[in-house]
Amino acid sequence: MSGPLEGIVVADFSRVLAGPYATMLLGDLGAEVVKVERPGSGDDTRAWGPPYAPSGQSTYFAGVNRNKISVGIDLATPEGVLAARELIDRADVVVENFKVGTLERLGLDYASVSAHHPGLIFCTISGFGSGEGRDLPGYDLLVQAMGGLMSITGPAPGEPTKVGVALVDVITGLHATVGVLAALHHRDATGEGQLLEVNLMSSLLSALVNQSSAYAAGGVVPGILGNAHPSISPYEVYATADRPLIIAVGNDRQFASLAEVVGAPQLAGDARFATNPERVANRVALKEELLGLLQAAGADEWQRRLTAVGVPCGPINDIGQVFALADRLGLAPIVDAGGTPTVAHPIRFDRTPATYRLAPPDAPEA
């Protein structure tokens, strides 16, 4: 058995990141994923490099397209539209992120194809939904800006900064995957397919969690705090004798342990710092106290001592260092997918594990 989704066919009409990430996850779990690409050029991300994998593929493309086969279909031709319809007719799931209205013009939209395929699950991904935002381009950076993520991210007020990866696309891909799995469960129970609409803006608003809830439930508009947290302290980056250290104290017991280890147990009884709300209100004064104390040792020594008493902390790793750490922790972060090194599927199943059957496919011939 190749996974819990063995026997499920996914017609992947998506491009770039959100959709391909979702369909790769489904492929990892055993689904047969057929990736539809433009003949010759293929997915835009095939040209997004450097860097490149040893095969010569863009590592961007390789990172979200294993466990798929690629077919070249020119949707600008009647023959291409017919081939696409035939693929959809045998699919259980369609995932697409065309500009809203494109598939309607081709007669390949959900309303058209579900009339004779009522069990089809059709997941459409857009930037801002199918209503008033239908014509807005769905680029991750644009949604990070317009969706508020950049307004709370950056070194200081007035310096909004994007996250270092296309995080909104990834979150949207995860939401699409959850939706498809839920729809498959519903179909198993009822025989009914359905249309799923997932958009980057709504996915980001959901993923902003405490920050978006602060506005929805409290009318508070959060701002940039650098590496600090709006509701927890101490919870940020602190300089030590050699390099920065993250300290993430989540409760009063942890703070008392921190104060004891850094040699200032009296801080836990200080009226300014005795409880978390007081520490948040006096965040700047607390940071000044801790910075002076943390100069007594380096980050590794503080991590050893603080971890021993249950205080969450750690260094800031680069990507190479985090892979080395994951390997030391036994997480096996890199797997072989048909000869291409790729990042392991994040979920471990004890009965139906993810499989890595196919390398990211070559571009379809023109």
Instruction: Please provide the distance, in angstroms rounded to a whole number, between the alpha carbons at the two ends of the chain.
Output: 34
Q: For residue 59, what are its two tokens?
A: 């590592």
Is 365's pLDDT higher than 90? no
Does pTM surpass 0.75? yes
Calculate mean pLDDT across residues 218-237.
Answer: 96
At 366, the pLDDT band (50, 70, 90 cuts) reads confident
Supply the residues annotated as catalytic.
169
Give the CATH class of 245-315.
alpha beta
**98-144 tens-digit pLDDT:** 998 899 999 999 999 999 999 999 999 999 998 998 888 889 999 99
At 55, the pLDDT band (50, 70, 90 cuts) reads confident
Please list, in sequence order, all residues whose beta carbon lies within 8 angstroms of the beta carbon of residue 342, skipping any fewer than 6 positions away: 62, 63, 66, 334, 335, 336, 356, 360
Residues 200/250, Cβ–Cβ less than 8 Å: no
Q: Can you give the pLDDT at residue 133? A: 86
Query: What is the number of alpha carbons within 13 Å of residue 288 lying toward its C-beta?
Result: 5
Domain chopping of the chain, boundaries: 9-207, 245-315
Share of the chain above pLDDT 90, in %: 94
Q: For residue 198, what are its two tokens?
A: 């997932």
- The mean predicted confidence, pLDDT, of the chain is 96
Is 1's pLDDT higher than 80? no
Please list, in sequence order, all residues whose beta carbon lies within 8 angstroms of the beta carbon of residue 276, skipping any fewer than 6 positions away: 232, 233, 251, 252, 255
Please list, in sequence order, all residues whose beta carbon lies within 8 angstroms of the beta carbon of residue 198, skipping any fewer than 6 positions away: 18, 123, 124, 125, 126, 172, 175, 176, 179
> Has domain 9-207 been given CATH number 3.20.20.70?
no
Q: Can you give the pLDDT at residue 220? A: 96
Residues 266/293, Cβ–Cβ less than 8 Å: no
Distance CA 219, CA 231 (A): 15
**168-224 tens-digit pLDDT:** 999 999 999 999 999 999 999 999 999 999 999 999 999 999 999 999 999 999 999
**308-327 tens-digit pLDDT:** 999 999 999 999 999 999 99
Residue-wise DSSP of 104-170: HHHT-SHHHHHTS-TT-EEEEEESS-SSTTTTS---HHHHHHHTSTGGG-SSSTT-----SS-HHHH
Is 70's pLDDT higher than 90? yes
Phi, psi of 365, rounded to the nearest 5 degrees: -65, 150
